[in-house]
C-alpha cells in the first residue's frame, strides 16, 4: 500500500495523511528511504550550512508557543550592536559558510534603515547570501532590504489552518502571512516557509495542508520543526512533538516538495541527540549552525533546553565536516541558492 503512494509523482492530501499515519516499522523505513532517494536526486549529497545570528530577542508578538513572546517578562532581553553582528558575520564567513541568516523577534526598534545598513555592510565585506528572518514587516522595508542586498526571507506560516492561526497568534491572520510570502516572492526574494509540528489542537490533516501550502507557495526552502514546550508560555505543560513523527513529516515533505531546501532544525537536535543526523537521512539537506555569541545565545530561548553550539558536535567547527562525512555526505561549497533557479 505505502509503496503505491511512494511511487506516485504527485501526492494529494489523503495520500500525504496516510504517509503521516504510517505506523508499521517497515513502512516507516520505506518512507525514510524514499525521502532519502528523492533528496539525492534533487539535492545531491551536499549539505548546505547556514550560519545564524540571532541578533535580538525583543518581540512585539505574543505567540502562545514561543518563549520570546512579549508577555514573557522573565526573559532577559538583548539587542546586538552592529559591530557585534559584523564580528559574528566574519566568524561565519571565516568558517567557509556562505549564507548568513539574520534572525530576531519582531523588533521594530531595528528600523528599515538599520537593517538595510547591516545588510549592505555584510554584503560589502563578505561574499555571502543573506537570509532575513525578522517576522512580518512593512512591504516598503522588504523592498529596501532587497535592494540593499538581501537574498532570501524566511517566514514560516507555522500553521496552515486559518481557524487555529489566530489561536496561536493573537491579532494575526494566516492570510496576511501568506500575502507577505507572495509579496516577498514577487520582488525577487527566495522564500522559506514551514510549520511547527504537534502544536496543541493541530491534526494530521493540518500538517498535510502545511506541506501542501509550501507546494502552493512554491517555496525555495521549507522548515518543519517539532514543537518543544517553552517555560513561561501558555503551552509550557504541553507535550513535545515525537521524534519519529517529526521525521515522517520531513520525509513526506521531501517526497511532495522535491527540489526545495529542507533543514534538519536545531529543534530536532534538541529532541534527540542525533536528531539532525536522522533528519539528514530522512530528506533534509541543510543545517543551520548557531553563531549567536555569548552571553546572548542562551537568551534566544524560543523553547526549553535549546541545543547550543558548545554541546552539539555538528556546531563545532572541527567536528562539523566529520559528522557530515560519517553520513556519506559532504559540506557544500558556495551559497546554496534555490534549487529552482
By CB under 6 A, the residues from 153 to 192 that bind ligand SAH are 155-156, 158
Side-chain half-sphere exposure of 322, counting CA atoms within 13 A: 8
CA-CA distances (angstroms) from residue 135 to 57, 168, 192, 329?
A: 12, 15, 12, 32
CA-CA distances (angstroms) from residue 151 to 128, 163, 241, 294?
A: 9, 32, 32, 27
State the nearest-atom distance from the C-beta of 65 to ligand SAH, in Å: 4
Name the residue nearer to ligand SAH (CB basis): 18 or 296.
296
Q: Which of 32, 168, 189, 227 binds ligand SAH (CB under 6 A)?
A: 227
Alpha-carbon distance of 136 to 119, in angstroms, equals: 17
**Overall residue count recorded for the chain in this entry:** 341
DSSP symbol at 304: T
Q: For ligand SAH, what does the binding mask look like between residues 197 and 216, x meaning CB under 6 A?
A: --------------------
Name the residue nearer to ligand SAH (CB basis): 22 or 195.
195
Which region, judged by CB under 6 A, interacts with ligand SAH, from 24-32, 141-149, 226-234, 314-322?
A: 226-234
Which region, judged by CB under 6 A, interacts with ligand SAH, from 42-50, 76-84, 138-146, 224-232?
A: 224-232
The reply on whether position 193 binds ligand SAH by CB under 6 A is no
Strand pairing of 152-154 and 129-133?
parallel
Which position's Cβ is nearest ligand SAH?
A: 135
By CB under 6 A, the residues from 98 to 157 that bind ligand SAH are 103, 105-106, 133, 135, 155-156
Q: For ligand SAH, what does the binding mask look like between residues 55 and 94, x meaning CB under 6 A?
A: ----------xx----------------------------
State the nearest-atom distance from the C-beta of 12 to ligand SAH, in Å: 26
φ/ψ of 224, rounded to 5, equals -120, 105
On whether the CB atoms of residues 184 and 221 are closer than 8 A, the answer is no
By CB under 6 A, the residues from 4 to 43 that bind ligand SAH are none
The reply on whether position 262 binds ligand SAH by CB under 6 A is no
Name the residue nearer to ligand SAH (CB basis): 156 or 261.
156
Alpha-carbon distance of 58 to 79, in angstroms, equals: 8
Cell of 196: 511547527
The reply on whether position 303 binds ligand SAH by CB under 6 A is yes
Name the residue nearer to ligand SAH (CB basis): 36 or 136.
136
State the nearest-atom distance from the C-beta of 222 to ligand SAH, in Å: 12
State the nearest-atom distance from the C-beta of 167 to ligand SAH, in Å: 15
Query: ω into residue 145 within 30 of 0, thus cis?
Result: no
155-164 residues labelled b (16+ CB within 10 A) or e (exposed): bbbbbbbeeb
The stretches of the chain forming alpha helices (DSSP H) are 2-6, 13-21, 25-43, 82-94, 112-125, 139-148, 165-168, 174-186, 204-217, 243-257, 266-271, 275-280, 317-326
Interacting residue ranges for ligand SAH, rule: CB under 6 A? 65-66, 103, 105-106, 133, 135, 155-156, 158, 196, 225, 227-228, 230, 267, 302-303
Amino acid at each position: 500500500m505505502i509503496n503505491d503512494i511512494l511511487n506516485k509523482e504527485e501526492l494529494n492530501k489523503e495520500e500525504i495523511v496516510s504517509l503521516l499515519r504510517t505506523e508499521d516499522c517497515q513502512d516507516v523505513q520505506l518512507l525514510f528511504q524514499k525521502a532519502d532517494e528523492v533528496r539525492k536526486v534533487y539535492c545531491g549529497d551536499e549539505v548546505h550550512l547556514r550560519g545564524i545570528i540571532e541578533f535580538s530577542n525583543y518581540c512585539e508578538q505574543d505567540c502562545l508557543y514561543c518563549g520570546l513572546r512579549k508577555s514573557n517578562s522573565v526573559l532577559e532581553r538583548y539587542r546586538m550592536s552592529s559591530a557585534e553582528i559584523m564580528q559574528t558575520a566574519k566568524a561565519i564567513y571565516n568558517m567557509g559558510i556562505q549564507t548568513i541568516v539574520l534572525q530576531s523577534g519582531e523588533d521594530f526598534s531595528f528600523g528599515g534603515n538599520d537593517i538595510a545598513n547591516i545588510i549592505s555592510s555584510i554584503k560589502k565585506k563578505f561574499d555571502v547570501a543573506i537570509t532575513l528572518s525578522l517576522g512580518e514587516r512593512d512591504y516598503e522595508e522588504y523592498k529596501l532590504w532587497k535592494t540593499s542586498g538581501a537574498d532570501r526571507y524566511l517566514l514560516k506560516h507555522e500553521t496552515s489552518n486559518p481557524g487555529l492561526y489566530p489561536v496561536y497568534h493573537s491579532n494575526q491572520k494566516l492570510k496576511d502571512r501568506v500575502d507577505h510570502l507572495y509579496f516577498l516572492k514577487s520582488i525577487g526574494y527566495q522564500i522559506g516557509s514551514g510549520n511547527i509540528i504537534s502544536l496543541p489542537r493541530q491534526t494530521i490533516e493540518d500538517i498535510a495542508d502545511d506541506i501542501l501550502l509550501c507546494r502552493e507557495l512554491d517555496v525555495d526552502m521549507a522548515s518543519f520543526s517539532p514543537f518543544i514546550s517553552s517555560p513561561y508560555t501558555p503551552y509550557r505543560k504541553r507535550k513535545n512533538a515525537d521524534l519519529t513523527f517529526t521525521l515522517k513529516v520531513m520525509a513526506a515533505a521531501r517526497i511532495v516538495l522535491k527540489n526545495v531546501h529542507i533543514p534538519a532544525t536545531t529543534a530536532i537536535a534538541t529532541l534527540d541527540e542525533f536528531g539532525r543526523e536522522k533528519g539528514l537521512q530522512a530528506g533534509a539537506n541543510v543545517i543551520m549552525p548557531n553563531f549567536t555569541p555569548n552571553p546572548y545565545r542562551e537568551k534566544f530561548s524560543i523553547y526549553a533546553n535549546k541545543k547550543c553550539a558548545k554541546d552539539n558536535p555538528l556546531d563545532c567547527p572541527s567536528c562539523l565536516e566529520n559528522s557530515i562525512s560519517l553520513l556519506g555526505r559532504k559540506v557544500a561549497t558556495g551559497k546554496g541558492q534555490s534549487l529552482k533557479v
